[in-house]
Structure 1
């Protein structure tokens, strides 16, 4: 494999051959997430509950076996067989550094990462290191392994110094590795919600702190370049990959810019092509008729596309995807939306990685078998999560008793506030849902999850965790069929 670099809007090898970075993300491995791994809440707090219930040794072994089975050589060979050229590995800083030992790096984390990169190279896959969870949390949400719902990273110089130092450590260990496409600095940064998500600072009321954002990004690039002058550096827009209008102009000759593109027709339910109403995810999206032409219009309206066109730099859509958990009758529409989205990306010359490769039945290329021992063991907790709406990513558009209660509470709180006319009901409830359902309710479900495994021996844990192995998973064949088609060009 050759080192990659940018040339205008293109990515090429050092010998000049064009390369399309198109493939998938691996979340749930070195950064676990609730809907991917089938647990409530966040990994950091769940690990503590598992240690208390299972003991120190088995509590640690539980997660080691989940990691071991989640991504193995068989998975990487399978990904490569589809025609994919890249995997984006979501990383949690806690695999490489502990909060109680800053600037002291964990060899076991780097050993696992090196072994995986070597396997990717063996199968012809480039790797993007995705800093999904950094010190102090770069956003307020669960996917940065954030159990507090606040973001300290942007206002704390100590967290930033630790982050820069870790990026240099990663660069020092992989600077001579051509299979590494590059370093993605921050996943889904959110510079302005430092005290949490509220109706006055989220969605339509979000305002990027570009001064701080640009300083942090520029400093990170400079620190990496002190060590590694060859690899691409990937920069994602603010506000979860959407805001680019205040980004500093490209200041290095080997930068790729990244946006995320979760669209309303990907989540359903409803016919596609068809009319879809407003969706609150990480931005406010107006309702309209969605078809292939709208997919094209939508991309060209994004700030990421406009930044790429203005500065003639490559654009990579680092995350997007449809959800296939909205009922059997709805799945063909989600596949049709995904197919049109991939077709539009290819038509416009974008690089892309789907979210995500493997999960517990939401949107993966492969998913755990619903009849597997793991899924049966966690079935009651999964049921309670669904009733409460305690899983943000899968509860955007679904009705549930938990959201009915927060809807009533939202109306009551708004009735008391003089500022209520400045807030929409949807934004207010979405922020409340995150605090009460995704954070608090998910947190109180964690002891229930741990209890389900409390009588397991090490042998039991090993057997149950084999549910995550590719051999025991189900491949979403209709999805894979369209992926192979779009990966071919």
Structure 2
């Protein structure tokens, strides 16, 4: 049976018959937009791909990524999610699957083919998809997940990059305009415009361009400052949902407990709800639907802490249900930090990258889930120097300490670690390269059973 069209009806999402629809599911991080903590490489996706090309050669590189992109998510994954009760999959992708930087505005068919395969697989199992541009040309935010090797989001400085994103979304809207299995379009993940002056006019331009092609699909619009700031919005667009990201500190800080303290702050259910209400104030004030586009804790293997994270996650999901919010848990599949499903610790892939994984974990080169506990002798003096010399320096978006970690850990240390990662693949023949990528196939992975049980219970209500 074809999936129904999803429409905006006041402060709720509904089908065409007027029945309320809550889109509840997961994000497919690490597939058409790769991230270092998800599949284990240091640095950015482009650095990772260059390293594998150098180590594997053109044939091995092609066979690795063909297998990876085919098997990271397929029919078995869609069936598993449907059995849990999931009805929505957010699908992040990089512009690089659709366009090369040296041939701007020349779109590649292969990107559409890969998206189609997952859209169709989900549709067969009753799951809507939300298409999410996670990495834009010029980088719409300052971090690794937009494939940004710097700390500057050039997207907001150059009209050329904005033109290319509008052009890509016009093509995507034309391609999916008659497909109700696609719930809608999430045009930019976690934009971070430091001036706050470009994003509003850009969204207006993008909305006009998409609506000239496709008047039907829902637009899911992230706020500025990594989907936490909605001050650039005035009157909501018709047929739009404004999306907040709702990561809670106890789920991210490794030394936290819940209920309890995280980095000196107290957290319990009341605090989580107040945070949710603050982040969704614009939606509730304007009477538009609420969709939490990302949230979720990391898991460290500390049983007591991980159980506390599940308690926190339960409270968040209860809050979302109480307020009629749709949601997308981050993330579906990885190597064990956050995923609902993860590669086996003894998989060929994880065995091969073990030396690089140990080094980058020790040096804390991942922004997400990493820690500087082993390099405090490096970070401490730099922090003290900046505190003494520029005590009022508070760079966008998260202040001095996060800025320093980005520059030192996630760029200065991470970039040379790519070489160690490359060495892990030296001498691997093409057929073995494909087998390594096969480590991410659903049948070769492990389900995080306690998280799956939690979601199954929540989705049954």
TM-score band w.r.t. shorter chain: over 0.9
Contact 2:41 2:357 in 1 (8 A): yes
> In the alignment, which residue of structure 1 is the partner of 2:54?
52
1:446 aligns with 2:418: yes
1:464 aligns with 2:436: yes
1:315 aligns with 2:290: yes
> In the alignment, which residue of structure 2 is the partner of 1:205?
none
Distance (whole Å) between structure 1 residues aligned to residue 402 and residue 377 of structure 2: 12
> In the alignment, which residue of structure 2 is the partner of 1:273?
259
What CA deviation, in whole Å up to 9, does each residue of 1:298-342 have, x standing for no partner? 21122xx11011100011000000111152232111111111111
1:412 aligns with 2:385: yes
Unaligned stretches of 5+ in structure 2? none
Alpha-carbon offset, residue 126 of structure 1: 0.4
Question: Which range moves more in the overlay, 320-329 or 100-109?
Answer: 320-329
> In the alignment, which residue of structure 1 is the partner of 2:338?
363
Question: Which range moves more in the overlay, 291-300 or 364-373?
Answer: 291-300
1:218 aligns with 2:204: yes
TM-score normalised over the length of structure 2: 0.96
Distance (whole Å) between structure 2 residues aligned to residue 106 and residue 403 of structure 1: 46
Q: How many residues are aligned here? A: 456
Alpha-carbon offset, residue 427 of structure 1: 3.8
Contact 1:214 1:248 in 2 (8 A): no
Alpha-carbon offset, residue 422 of structure 1: 5.0
SS in 1 for 2:368: helix
Map 1:65-464 to 2 at 5 A.
Answer: 65-192=67-194, 209-250=195-236, 252-267=237-252, 268-277=254-263, 287-288=265-266, 290-302=267-279, 305-395=280-370, 398-415=371-388, 417=389, 419-423=390-394, 427-464=399-436
> In the alignment, which residue of structure 2 is the partner of 1:483?
455
Map 1:36-51 to 2 at 5 A.
Answer: 36-51=38-53
Contact 1:386 1:400 in 2 (8 A): no
What CA deviation, in whole Å up to 9, does each residue of 1:124-168 have, x standing for no partner? 100000110011110010000111222111121111111100000
SS in 2 for 1:172: helix
Contact 2:142 2:152 in 1 (8 A): yes
TM-score normalised over the length of structure 1: 0.90
Alpha-carbon offset, residue 122 of structure 1: 0.6
> In the alignment, which residue of structure 2 is the partner of 1:202?
none
What CA deviation, in whole Å up to 9, does each residue of 1:401-422 have, x standing for no partner? 234411212212433x2x3245
Question: Which range moves more in the overlay, 228-237 or 8-17?
Answer: 8-17
Unaligned stretches of 5+ in structure 1? 193-208, 279-286
Contact 2:393 2:400 in 1 (8 A): no
> In the alignment, which residue of structure 2 is the partner of 1:198?
none
**C-alpha RMSD over aligned residues:** 1.5
SS in 1 for 2:446: strand
Contact 1:403 1:433 in 2 (8 A): no
What CA deviation, in whole Å up to 9, does each residue of 1:242-277 have, x standing for no partner? 001232321x32000100011112124333211223
Distance (whole Å) between structure 1 residues aligned to residue 330 and residue 120 of structure 2: 22
Alpha-carbon offset, residue 62 of structure 1: 2.0
Alpha-carbon offset, residue 57 of structure 1: 2.0
